[in-house]
Amino acid sequence: MTEDSQAISRRGFVRAGIGGTGLIGAAALGITQGGFAQGVESLGAGTHTTGPEPGTHVMPTVVGEVDHAKNGFNPTAMLTDFDGGKVSTLPSGQTLREYNLVAQNQTIEIVPGVEFAAWTYNGRIPGPTIRVTEGDRVRITMVNASDHPHSTHFHGVHPGLVDGVFDMQSGVVQPGGRHTYEFDAEPFGLHLYHCHTAPLAKHIAKGLYGTFIIDPKGGRPAVDREMVMVMAGYDVDFDGANDFYLVNGIPFHYDHGKHPITLRVGEKVRVYLVNILEYDIANSFHLHANFFHYFPTGTSLTPAEFTDTIALMQGQRGILEFSYKHPGRYMFHAHKTEFAELGWTGVFEVSA
C-alpha cells in the first residue's frame, strides 16, 4: 500500500470516486462512472449501445489495468486452472495426490495504482484450486517463506493432527519451517482451505485462502464449462473494514470493458462459488436475467434450490449450474450493492 493511500479514510477513499461529485477522488484512484468499453457493442437483442451516452447508467469501475504479470496471476486464467497435483499410486492401490504450498509475503496491485501488502499461497490470491477425487490420499507440504507463523486448515473430514490449528504438531508452521498434511479426501463436495493462525481474521483478509474440490468417485454430470469464483475483500487501510470486494483476487476484473466472461447460448456452466470474505457478516451472488440450480456445499448431486440469488456466510460455498437462453450482456455481482459498487461485479457476454 502506498503512503498516500494510508492517509485516506475508507469511505473517503472509495466513495469519493463513485458518488457522482467526487472527481478528485476518482482521479486519484482511477475510478470512473463510465464503464462501457469504447466500441463494444451490446449483445442484447434489439439494443446496440456503443458507449456511455448522456443519461446512461452503468456500474462503477476503474480506469486502466493492474499489472497481472507483476502480480504473478491473472483472474481470467484462475477461473479454470484446476490443480490435480502430482499423481501416483500407493502400494494399496489408493491414488496419491501431492501438492506444495508456499506461504509468502507479496505486494499485489489490486486496482491500478493501489498496492496491498498481501500474504499468499504460491504467490496468488486465491491460492491454487486443489482438485481431487473422494477417497484419494492427499499430501500437502507447506513451506513458510514469510516472516509470520502460518498454517493450512482444510475443510472436510480428517484427523485433528492435520487440522492446522493449535500447534506445530498439528501444522502451525514457523517462518522458515515446513509441515506435511496428509489425509484421505472426504466427503465429496466443494470445500476450502485457509490459514488458521492468530490473528485469524488478518491472516485470511491478507489473502491466505483457496478452493478445495473433492469430486464424487463417479464424477458429476457433464457440463460444457466449469469455473471457480472465490469471493473476498481487501482492507487496504487496515481499519478492520473492507475497501474493495472481489472474486478471484482483483476487483472489477470481469467487468464490462475489461475481461467479461464469454459464453454461448445453451452452454451449460458450473460455477464453484466460495465465500471467504472477512470483516462483513455475509456475501451474496446474483445472476442477471437467469436462474441457476444451487447445490449447497456440493455434497449432493440433487440441487436444493432454483433461484437467481444466494447469500453465504464466511466459509459457506456452493455449486451453481445454469445456461443462458438468450444472447446478451448479463451482470453477475453481490446483491449487497455496496459490495458491487466497490468491485464485486462482473459480466457474462453470451453469444448466439
Q: Which pLDDT belongs to residue 164?
A: 85
Could you tell me the three cell numbers for 41?
457493442
Instruction: Give burial (CB, 10 Å; 0-12/13-18/19+) of 73.
Output: buried
Distance CA 59, CA 263 (A): 21
Mark out the alpha helices in 131-242 (DSSP H runs): 200-205
Sheet holding 189-194, edge to edge: 82-83, 129-133, 209-215, 189-194, 153-154
| Nearest to 3, CA basis, from 113, 79, 135 | 113
Q: Which pLDDT belongs to residue 12?
A: 46
Q: Which pLDDT belongs to residue 17?
A: 41
- DSSP 8-state class, residue 173: B
- Amino acid occupying residue 246: L
pLDDT tens-place string over residues 39-78? 333 333 443 444 455 555 567 888 999 999 999 999 999 9
Please list, residue by residue across 77-110, b when 16 or more beta carbons sit within 10 angstroms of its beta carbon and e when fewer do: ebbeebbebeeeeeeeeebbbebbbbbbebebbb
* Phi, then psi, of 104 in degrees rounded to 5: -150, 160
Residue segments in the chain with a per-residue pLDDT below the cut of 70: 1-58
Give the number of other Cβ atoms within 10 Å of residue 139's Cβ.
17
Phi-psi region of 26 (alpha: psi -120 to 50; beta: other; left: phi over 0): alpha
Judge whether 235 and 242 are in contact, CB under 8 Å: yes
Judge whether 29 and 14 are in contact, CB under 8 Å: yes
Q: Which pLDDT belongs to residue 48?
A: 42
Using only C-alpha atoms, what is the Rg of the chain? 20
Kindly give, in sequence order, each residue whose CB lies less than 8 Å from that of residue 258, ignoring residues fewer than 6 positions away: 37, 61, 65, 252
Whole-number Cα distances in Å, 11 to 102, 234, 272: 34, 13, 31
Tell whether omega for the bond before 54 is within 30 degrees of 0, i.e. cis.
no
